[in-house]
Structure 1
Amino acid sequence: MADFTDEDDALLSELGVEVGSKKTSSRTPQEERIIAGFEDIQCFVEEHGRIPQHGEDRDIFERLYAVRLDRIKALPECRSVVAPLDHQGLLGDPVTATATGEDEELDDDALLAALGVEAECPGITELRHVRPAAEKQAAEEVANRTRCEDFATFKPLFEQVQKDLDEGIRETRPFELKAEIAPGRFFIVGGQKAYVAEMGEIEITAQGRTDARLRVIFDNGTESNMLMRSLQRALNKDEAGRRITEPVAGPLFADRPEDGDEASGTIYVLRSKSDHPMVAQHREVIHKIGVTNMSVKQRIAGARLQPTFLMADVELVATYELFNINRTKLENLIHRIFEPARCDIEIRDRFGRPVVPKEWFMVPLFVIDEAVKRIKDRSITDYRYDPSSARLISIRGSTSQ
């Protein structure tokens, strides 16, 4: 049977979950912990109307619950403990470790790191029901605020941040890592903007985790001398908790290098020479749009043997060199823009299996060129692609010219 230990004290603090002590029962402490973990999953299902799922596009907590549910389903001892409580039919058929898909998802250390917990910390296989008093006290520090006597010094900073947000110079995004907490950074927690004005010396806790005392100023004129991990927990617990990004200087990416720039890769646009009926009929407007960090010539070598290239040779029709940008995020952005025009082309791979490549779109080349330019100057956020007119349309009501 799985050896469950004391490690979910940390998990509870990261999730902001506080579970009261339960009445004495005939269950062993180990069984109580298994049940507690299962009850968290049940709460998620009740709130969202579905079981937690794996995937990089999922919230980190949902991914954590998905891993936990897979483990419970895979262990007969765990299944037998929670089966009488499974009124939602979550257990389904038993699964094996290889069937859970965990090899494609984050492992325990990566999950913990995404939650802001150092990788050297223990795993995440169980829950305890009583949070240590020290952790409760740390979490409560979020509410222990005092009047900021020198708020006049910080008020212009908050005003400038709001102006930056209004003008798109800054953005907000979900808080993810404790490493994001640093002096000079802004966050949104509890519906208020928070500014990390000072950070004390980094210390190592008894649990082997890093922590530091912060001076956090809030836009309502209060401040708190909280711990870094207290702010982290507050942001993780708050569904609306956000990190306010740094001001954006210049375009999203450059097509010409400057001193100090690092090459990121190339956007490439291809046409297929496939004899597939749909491709043959619309060859001039069906394009594959991708991003690569290798030479395009190397990327398309052997195209006729690869399903992603429709098992046919291709013609390179456009390229855009990139510098200082995340290739994966850029490719996802481009594909999201042209999602309404994604082609549903089914082909057979070398083994006769049906495959539907995901990077082919029915979009004119001039529109792709315009989209890249608008991504570059960040105006793409004001546009969507309209397949009926084959144009980028302003979401504010005017058509792109």
Structure 2
Amino acid sequence: MIDLNELREELAEYAVPKREGGRSVREERIIAGFEEIQRFVEGHGRTPQHGEDKDIFERLYAVRLDRLRAMDECRALLAPLDHQGLLSGAEIAQADSVESMDDEELLAELEGAAGPSDITELRHVRSRAEIRAAEEIANRERCEDFDRFQPLFQQAESELKSGIRQTRPFGRDASVTTGNFFILGGQLVYVAEMGDVFRTPNGEPDARLRVIYSNGTESNLLLRSLQRALYKDQAGRRLTDPNAGPLFSETWEEDDIASGTIYVLRSLSSHPFVAEHRELIHKIGVTGGKVESRIANAAHDATYLLAEVEVVASYKLAGVNRTKLEGIFHRIFAPAQLDLTIQDRFGHPVRPREWFLAPLHVIDEAVRRILDGSISDVVYDPKTARLVG
């Protein structure tokens, strides 16, 4: 006769390990995925929305939030952390849409949020092929030094939205190296480290990687495992290098302008923080029309801090890709982006993103470097108030 107590003890070693604080790896991943949504809400003043007009990250967060709302265990786990009320009052009917999805669709949508199934949820014995696929992904763990990488993810997202980076289907270029960004399973992936290259039994080169995921986890999967996962993922993408493609060119694209102006604005807002740092806070933009026309309605536009502005510098340009140029400025001065939330005319919180705490002479230097082509890999250091390479 089987002693249930003995059987329980034997099975205990196979249970999902608990982390410090009593949470399993799976629970930490659920929380990490929810925290990404919370950061989005803090930055945009609203919940992520569905729709083809939204960027890929907002659509991902919207799907993830729907799934978290629809799962009882996720709501129970996240309720103490939900200070924004993202889960309260949610339409539980969302569960219907979850139940209508097949396993592959559901796993793809929940990637980075719910994580792998717990041993207590065993449904069937997996085939050897399924086991190999799971082993290829390797065990994900919480990235203890994620604060080092989070700015890189934020910068990559910003560069993707501004057009400095673009996405390309994985396969045209199957190379993987340190510093590469990919989209896998709807999640942004960064290759932080690569170990020594070795040969597989069939002679192919391979290496152990340290891969960081945008939800704050990491894994040490093999290079060829990452390649296989990207090949299998129909939505798998590579993010192009931010320096790919010319800023000035002889062929015209939709966002190119024959002539225009780089303008630097200073706010006349009476907001206490703005008033105190008025000489340092600047907005940098590019327009193909008249600057005066662009800022005519500043006092009624949250983009301009709902206040009049003055033009403190302007630079004429010709034959330039406006989107790339604005993206370059935002990349350079991202470490000094103004973190300020104001209420718009309707009482909604707005966080303008094109204002920076940077002195005018440094912005002037950045423009000169853009024009002479020496801007690559340069970024603004707020501590020294200088451009550093």
TM-score normalised per structure 1 = 0.43
Bigger Rg, which one: 1
TM-score normalised per structure 2 = 0.45
